[in-house]
A and B are shown apart, each in its own frame.
Chain A
Amino acid sequence: MIPSPHLTDDQLIERLYCASLSRAGEDAHFDACPECRDRARDLDRARARSVPESIPPPDYFDRQRREILARIAAPVERRILGSVWVPASLAVVLAAGLAIARWTLPEPSLDSAANSMNGTELIEILEPGWFEDTYSAMSMAEPRAASPIRGLFAEAPLSE
């Protein structure tokens, strides 16, 4: 199969946008070949046709001009308050405050040296009466917690 001497669509697109071709000799062919130049012209017309024409309403630019002039006339303070710098600055201040609080406030953690034994973490038990409850459960036949339930079934003395 004999390769076509003309440039391919891809090559013409590359030339249209990049103004030259990457391989030597292709530009020389383009300059010498009227057929390729015609195809390139058609391609450029297609490009121009594919660009949508934006037609705003007739008073659009008048309204826009009035808004620009109003923004130029606006006091500088209002421009600053309306800008993105205000929320951005607040976010930075908040983040800095959180970071300072994180580093300066003491951490509510247990002393790791005092609460570990042979690599096993000990749990600090703070609830009062825990030892008594545990002792009663181990030493008595019936745990102390069962007595209120038993009281429900106990026979009450008959009233006169």
Chain B
Amino acid sequence: MRADTLAAEPGAHPSPAAVSAGFTVWMASEQRRIYGLCQHLLQDRDEADSATQDVFLKAHRALNKPGGDSPADLGKWLTRIAVNTCLDRLRSRRWRFWRRASIQNAQEILAQAVCRSPNADDTYFAAQIHQRLTAALGKLSERQRAVFTLRHYDNFSMEEIAAALDLDCGTVKAHMHRAVIKLRVELRDLYRRRA
């Protein structure tokens, strides 16, 4: 989809009706992907919901900014907005020490895992891994966490991660390497027990 088809009519009052039909269709096609990305990065449904809304709001503003550049690849551009929005939220979490624990409860994780795993043992193990991984991810820096999450949950390649974070591949590899080392230490008992 071309960026110029998503902007509202010039001078139009920003009412829901004035938001171009192209933007609404494009948003509907990208919403699930962006929500999933935000949920993986933030590990919190409510915050992912709010972050997804912020992402599309920012995208709408940028597309309707007079004299603004039209991104060549809308998908990659939106991914970058989403990743930056989540990174900002992860950074602000440090100050919100009163915030409730973000780890979802075991029941919820089990309910999610049931759909994916064929037997009870795998289901339990997948839920356990997810819970421990979520806790371990909290001990990484924001960048390490973003790099690992984009690879683990969203199956991004190194080049895609570099583009999303506006970093070069070498820096992404360095962050990933440190993240993997930290997570291996944190989760060593889990995968040794499984083996």
Contact = CB atoms under 8 A, between A and B. Distances in A.
Interface in A62-96: 64-65, 67-73
A133 B126 CA distance: 84
A49 B126 CA distance: 7
Contacts, number: 87
For chain B, give the interface size range.
35 or more
Report whether over half of chain B's contact residues are helix, strand or loop; otherwise say mixed.
helix
Nearest to B169: A19
A52 to B, nearest CB: 4
A52 B24 contact: no
B113 A18 contact: no
A47 interface: yes
Interface residues of A, number: 29
B26 to A, nearest CB: 11
Contact of A52 (B113, B176, B180): B113
Contact of B176 (A9, A10, A18, A61): A18
A48 B49 CA distance: 23
A100 to B, nearest CB: 26
Interface in B1-48: 14-16, 18-19, 24, 27-28, 31-32, 35-36, 39, 45
Interface of A: 9-10, 13-14, 17-20, 22, 47-56, 61, 64-65, 67-73
